[in-house]
């Protein structure tokens, strides 16, 4: 991003002016962020004209009007697919209960948005008046609101004999019971699923405080950070990175450590209704352990990209030695993975199956062969390469920036002797100076999680009392000694 674009987008976030470049993602999201946070900007002539032409800006503008206790006029809200009706009307501010009631009266199609706002703000009486289906997303928002009214809404939904998935924070749709369509963004949707269970998927209000900073860096299509779905439609863009501490949102609300009940979920069967939305570490540990059932349950939204769009650079030996038939199946059905399969056979020292795959000599295989105690593989690669020297192949010369090369080490996940009390809500992923880790350049660090889980609660309390918050490395026996 060049300097003029950065400065103009920053001005848009601050609600000062529209940028010249409206075609970039940063430009659009900066405008949406500024509109939602600044009433004067949202009602300016420039933004009003822009909103008349573009539905995504109109949704942001209408959300700001509602949060400023102004119910938009029909010409500002209505469209053939109701695409101008905002999804989120409860962040960064709350409308009054009176405004929410009038909004639901004038626009019945927004009853679930109003119900969601009631859950966040604690308007239990109005929520009861709306007579909505008991929705799991609204339940999670109510549980996390920290209000008496929110608690009442949560308990009312949980007391229902059957709960529904009407609201979808991931794709920003609300299933219309009568018309069997999705609102407000106009895409088709099936009827609300039932029964539905709480799964921690709600983009609750305190999560929206976590922001990625507007940056001057121009990311390539490969290195650009993957956007996280956001109910505000601003891709979580902010003037600064991270949360914004305030009296209403203390740091502990969104930079939290896991509670003992949440830690217990790391090693206990998951209940039908997940009691938390802080599940990043649960997902990471399920992925690390290869627990696909648990991972699928926790994520609910698996990647939609097909295998043809995924780089086939895989580690096939971590966590145990796969049997011959599994690797033969992969090598036969996915020809593009012959190199990975051959590397796995080298690590496992299976000469016969290694010969049958007949993988083309490559630097990655040469590195794997150098780490093998069996000299056969290195001799075989050198022999086959020597026979093809006319092609100018040199398997001993590769790029030190090649991340796949780090996957050829024998010990990809060294154990640790570290414990972090209290336990944070995500796993640490490290890179070591000039060395890259084996997984997309990083190395997961599950050791501190495992050590924390297996430690006695009294020992963890002693660590916190004696060391305060932070990492401790080394033996812990001295903590058991008498004072």
The span from the CA of 195 to the CA of 197, in Å, is 7
pLDDT top residue among 405 and 59 = 59
pLDDT top residue among 417 and 257 = 257
pLDDT category of residue 273 using cuts at 50, 70 and 90: very high
The mean pLDDT of 180-208, rounded to a whole number, is 72
Task: Give domain limits for the chain.
Answer: 3-207, 316-408, 418-480
What would the pLDDT profile of 430-441 be if each residue is shown by its tens digit? 655 444 555 555
Who contacts 222 (Cβ-Cβ below 8 Å, separation ≥6)? none
pLDDT top residue among 147 and 435 = 147
Helix (H, G, I), strand (E, B) or coil at 213: strand
Question: What pLDDT does 309 receive?
Answer: 38
Entry field: residues in the chain:
483
Tokens for 303, please give them.
């990647």
What would the pLDDT profile of 383-406 be if each residue is shown by its tens digit? 888 776 655 566 766 665 555 665
Question: 175 forms bridges with which residues in the sheet?
Answer: 182
Q: Is 87 left (phi over 0), alpha (psi -120 to 50) or beta?
A: alpha
Q: What is the largest CA-CA distance in the chain?
A: 83
- Top mean pLDDT of 64-68, 193-197, 244-248, 261-265 is at 64-68
Matching residue, tokens 């299509």: 221
The span from the CA of 277 to the CA of 198, in Å, is 9
pLDDT category of residue 63 using cuts at 50, 70 and 90: very high
* 92 phi/psi in degrees, rounded to 5: -85, -5
Are 343 and 368 in contact by the 8 Å Cβ rule? The answer is yes
pLDDT top residue among 41 and 330 = 41
The span from the CA of 9 to the CA of 6, in Å, is 5
The span from the CA of 213 to the CA of 6, in Å, is 11
Helices 376-387 & 363-371 angle (0-180, nearest 10): 150
DSSP string computed for 70-83: -PPPHHHH--TT-T
The span from the CA of 471 to the CA of 419, in Å, is 6
Are 325 and 331 in contact by the 8 Å Cβ rule? The answer is no
Tokens for 250, please give them.
């203390």
Are 120 and 98 in contact by the 8 Å Cβ rule? The answer is no
pLDDT category of residue 125 using cuts at 50, 70 and 90: very high
* pTM of the complete model beyond 0.85: no
* Residue 98 burial (CB count, 10 A): 10
Are 451 and 416 in contact by the 8 Å Cβ rule? The answer is yes
Are 195 and 162 in contact by the 8 Å Cβ rule? The answer is yes
Are 344 and 327 in contact by the 8 Å Cβ rule? The answer is yes
The span from the CA of 16 to the CA of 76, in Å, is 23
Alpha helices, H only, 146-250: 148-158
């Amino acid at each position: 991003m060049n300097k003029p674009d950065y400065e103009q987008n920053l001005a848009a976030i601050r609600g000062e002016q529209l940028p010249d470049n409206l075609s970039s993602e940063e430009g659009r999201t900066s405008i949406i962020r500024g509109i939602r946070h600044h009433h004067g900007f949202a009602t300016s002539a420039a933004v009003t004209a822009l909103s008349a032409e573009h539905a995504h800006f109109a949704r942001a503008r209408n959300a700001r009007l509602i949060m400023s206790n102004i119910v938009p006029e029909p010409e500002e809200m209505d469209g053939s697919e109701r695409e101008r009706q905002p999804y989120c009307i409860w962040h960064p501010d709350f409308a009054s209960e009176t405004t929410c009631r009038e909004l639901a009266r004038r626009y019945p199609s927004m009853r679930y948005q109003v119900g969601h706002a009631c859950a966040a703000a604690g308007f239990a009486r109005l929520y009861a008046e709306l007579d909505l289906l008991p929705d799991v997303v609204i339940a999670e928002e109510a549980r996390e609101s920290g209000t008496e009214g929110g608690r009442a809404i949560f308990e009312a939904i949980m007391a229902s004999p059957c709960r529904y998935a009407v609201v979808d924070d991931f794709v920003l749709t609300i299933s219309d019971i009568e018309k069997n369509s999705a609102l407000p963004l106009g895409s088709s949707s099936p009827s609300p699923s039932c029964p539905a269970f709480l799964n921690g998927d709600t983009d609750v209000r305190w999560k929206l405080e976590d922001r990625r900073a507007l940056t001057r860096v121009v990311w390539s299509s490969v290195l650009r950070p993957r956007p996280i779905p956001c109910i505000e439609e601003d891709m979580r863009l902010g003037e600064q990175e991270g949360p914004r501490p305030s009296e209403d949102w203390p740091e502990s609300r969104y930079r939290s450590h896991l509670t003992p009940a949440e830690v217990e979920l790391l090693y206990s069967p998951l209940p039908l209704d997940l009691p938390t939305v802080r599940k990043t570490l649960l997902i990471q540990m399920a992925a690390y352990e290869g627990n696909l059932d648990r991972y699928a349950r926790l994520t609910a939204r698996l990647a939609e990209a097909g295998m043809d769009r995924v780089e086939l650079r895989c580690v096939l030996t971590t966590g145990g030695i796969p049997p011959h038939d599994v690797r033969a199946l992969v090598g036969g059905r996915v020809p593009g993975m012959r190199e990975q399969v051959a590397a796995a056979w080298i690590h496992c020292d299976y000469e016969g199956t290694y010969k049958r795959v007949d993988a083309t000599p490559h630097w990655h295989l040469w590195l794997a062969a150098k780490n093998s105690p069996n000299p056969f593989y290195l001799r075989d690669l050198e022999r086959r390469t020597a026979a093809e020297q006319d092609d100018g192949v040199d398997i001993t010369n590769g790029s030190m920036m090649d991340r796949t090369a780090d996957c050829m080490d024998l010990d990809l996940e060294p154990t640790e002797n570290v414990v972090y009390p209290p336990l944070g809500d995500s796993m640490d992923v490290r890179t070591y100076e000039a060395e890259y880790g084996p997984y997309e350049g990083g190395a997961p660090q599950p050791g501190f999680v495992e050590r924390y889980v297996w430690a006695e609660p009294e020992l963890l309390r002693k660590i916190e009392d004696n060391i305060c918050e932070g990492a401790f490395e080394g033996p812990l026996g001295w903590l058991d000694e008498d004072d």
